[in-house]
Amino acid sequence: MLDPQLLRADPEHVAEQLKRRGVDFDPAAALALDQRRKALQMELETLQAKRNSTAKAIGQAKARGEDAGPILAEAAGLGDEIKARQDALEGVLREWDALLLNLPNLPHASVPEGRNDDDNVEIRRWGTPPAFDFAPRDHVDIGEQLGILDFQAGAKLAGARFTVLRGIGARLERALTQFMLDLHTQEHGYTEIAPPYLANADSLRGTGQLPKFEEDLFALRDDPYYLIPTAEVPVTNLLRGEIVEAGTLPLKYVAYTPCFRREAGSYGRDTRGMIRQHQFDKVELVQLVEPETSYAALESLLQHAETVLQRLALPYRVMALCAGDLGFSAAKTYDLEVWLPGQGKYREISSVSNFEAFQARRMQARYRAPDGKPALLHTLNGSGLAVGRTLVALLENHQQADGSVLIPPALQPYLGGLERIA
């Protein structure tokens, strides 16, 4: 959530920054709504003060044995007036809250200008895409020939955008997950969390999925829960409504969960294979830090995600997202895009974002500042990595002419020393 004080004090600046994201915002309308709130509050306070003074006058008149009738008549309509002002004020406050909840974060000054992913800026590349002496196949053909990916079974059991992994395919997914968790906990200093896979509306509001993106969530029919779209939701909300001591920061969490998304608006895109699924596994990294350290934390979080790709010998590039391509809650985002020989291009495998105080303000997640007063944390998260897409990249980049797939040395201990899937 944007800082309401900033919105009131400088709505033109907010409008200018939101315009960078392609969002139209009317500062005059926002200012008028806030002026209406102030006016109603003043009217309500005046009426309440009048009611209090009238009640006191009635008591004094009765104590003196005087006729309180004229004062009672004067007070008769105050209750209705107060109720009308209270109702009007509640309506304005609901409108103000809805405005704040539906406005995205402001982009950081370092975020490139641009309207969509065509305007994202490449920062660097790591590794060289493999040069095959045969026509490389995509993961669908590789997985089906090896008998480890079963897309027909997934469609039969659930529908489109679901996959069944068999045998070494299922074991490979488990190995990748374990490898990532071990790397982040043992080398990068994260604490592992095993959160619920269901979340309530307060949690999804806290991280920014609600109310704006409800159509992309799977909601339970008869219960007030949603299937989580990412571990970011439950893990970040661990600090909702909390005040932590500054000496405990930074807090660094890692969690493996399945993730569930409707993929609303993506119909017709990536319908082949495992690139865009309704259910997928992900290892998520979350950091909660003091504001002055959050951009250094963003760079470290990016490096932690990059390490996974480097250990697995998967070529990738780092992209800085332009203002028009930022996610709703993000102030700045890097995407990691892994090379997929089957598509002949780089595809996103991780987004690493700094949300500054945007999520913390929605959650009231705070720390004890040096002056002893509570202050809002900065929150960050990123995929470390999306397990299914990592499996896809591994199959495609390490495929061999005979149809087999080599296992990177870093992953072999998690597969009992297996060096090749054949």
CB atoms within 10 A of CB 324: 20
Which entry of 261, 262, 347, 366 is annotated as an active-site residue? Answer: 261
Q: Reply yes or no on whether 420 is catalytic.
A: no
Structural contact between residues 192 and 185, judged by C-beta atoms closer than 8 angstroms: yes
Backbone angles phi, psi at 112, to 5 degrees: -65, 150
Q: Reply yes or no on whether 348 is catalytic.
A: yes
Q: Reply yes or no on whether 272 is catalytic.
A: no
Which entry of 21, 347, 361, 389 is annotated as an active-site residue? Answer: 389
Structural contact between residues 204 and 236, judged by C-beta atoms closer than 8 angstroms: no
Q: Reply yes or no on whether 389 is catalytic.
A: yes
Which entry of 294, 329, 351, 353 is annotated as an active-site residue? Answer: 351
Residue 366, both tokens: 């705070």
Which entry of 276, 311, 317, 368 is annotated as an active-site residue? Answer: 276
Q: Reply yes or no on whether 261 is catalytic.
A: yes
CB atoms within 10 A of CB 176: 23
Which entry of 242, 348, 368, 404 is annotated as an active-site residue? Answer: 348
SS3 letters for 100-124? HHHCCCCCCCCCCCCCCHHHCEEEE
- Contacts of 155-163 spanning 24+ positions with Cβ under 8 A: 158/278, 158/279, 159/278, 160/271, 161/263, 161/271, 161/276, 161/277, 161/278, 162/277, 162/278, 162/279, 163/274, 163/277, 163/388
Q: Select from 361, 186, 165, 189 the least CA-distant residue to 286.
A: 189
Q: Among all residues, which ones are annotated catalytic?
A: 261, 276, 348, 351, 389
